[in-house]
Chains A and B, each alone.
Chain A
Amino acid sequence: MTDIATRLLGRIGRGYRVVGPFSLVLVALVLAAIFAPWLAPNDPNSQNLLGRLKPPGTEARGILYLLGSDELGRDLLSRIIYGARVSLSVALLSVVLSGVVGTTLGMAAGYLRGWTEAVIMRLADIFLSIPAILLAIITVAVLGPGFVNVILVLALTRWPRYARVAYGQTLSVANMPYVRLARAMGASWPRVLLRHILPNIIAAMAVIATLEFGLMVLFEAGLSFLGLGVQPPTPSWGATLSVGRNYVTSAWWIATFPGICLFLLVLSVNLIGDRLSEYLNPKSR
Chain B
Amino acid sequence: MPLFIVKRIGQALIALFGVMTLVFFIQRLTGDPTYLLVPENATQADIEAMRRTLGLDQPLLVQYGRFLWDMAHFDLGRSFVQNVKVTTIIASRLPYTLQLAGGALIVALVIGLPVGLILALGRRFAITRALMGLVLAAQSMPTFWSGIMMIMVFGVWLGWLPPSGTGSLQHLIMPSIALGLLSMATYARIARSAVLDELSKDYIRSARARGVGTGRLVTHHLLRNSVIPVISVTALEISQLLAGAVIVETVFAWPGLGQLTVEAIASRDFVVVQGVVLLGAFVTIAVNFAADILYTVVDPRIRLGGTRP
Contact = CB atoms under 8 A, between A and B. Distances in A.
A222 B142 contact: yes
B142 A142 contact: no
Contact of A255 (B19, B36, B152): B152
Contacts of B193: 284
A178 to B, nearest CB: 29
Interface in A228-285: 228, 238, 241-242, 244-245, 248-249, 252, 255-256, 259, 262-263, 266-267, 269-271, 274, 284
A129 B284 CA distance: 6
B281 A129 contact: yes
Contact of A221 (B142, B155, B265): B142
Given A122-B18, A245-B251, A263-B145, A133 B29 contact: no
Interface in B48-68: none
Contacts of B162: none
A133 B152 contact: no
Contact of B156 (A126, A222, A248): A248
A139 B243 contact: no
A192 interface: no
A248 B148 contact: yes
A225 B19 contact: no
A127 interface: yes
A141 interface: yes
Given A129-B285, A245-B148, A143 B280 contact: no
B93 to A, nearest CB: 15
A262 B265 CA distance: 25
A141 B265 contact: yes
Interface string B217-232: 0000000000000000
A132 B136 contact: no
A226 B262 contact: yes
Residue with the highest number of chain B CB atoms closer than 10 Å, among A123, A131, A132, A256: A131
Contacts of B276: 134
B301 to A, nearest CB: 22
Contacts, number: 137
A142 B243 contact: no
B156 A138 contact: no
A229 B19 CA distance: 24
Given A129-B284, A143-B30, A225 B277 contact: no
A259 B148 contact: yes
Interface residues of B, number: 52
B15 interface: yes
Contacts of A125: 15, 18
Contacts of A143: 29-30
Contacts of A263: 137, 140-142, 145
A229 to B, nearest CB: 12
A154 interface: no
A134 B163 contact: no
A228 B27 CA distance: 17
Contact of A133 (B30, B244, B281): B244
A53 to B, nearest CB: 15
A221 B247 CA distance: 11
Complex A-B, nearest 10 residue pairs according to Cβ-Cβ distance, in ascending order: A131-B243, A259-B145, A126-B18, A267-B140, A266-B140, A130-B281, A255-B148, A134-B280, A133-B243, A138-B277
Given A130-B22, A270-B140, 16 more contacts: A129-B15, A130-B19, A130-B277, A131-B242, A133-B243, A133-B244, A138-B23, A226-B247, A226-B262, A241-B144, A245-B251, A248-B148, A259-B142, A266-B141, A267-B136, A284-B193
22 contacts: A123-B18, A125-B15, A126-B18, A126-B19, A129-B19, A130-B280, A130-B284, A131-B284, A133-B246, A134-B243, A137-B246, A137-B277, A139-B29, A142-B27, A142-B36, A143-B29, A143-B30, A248-B155, A249-B156, A255-B145, A262-B142, A284-B193
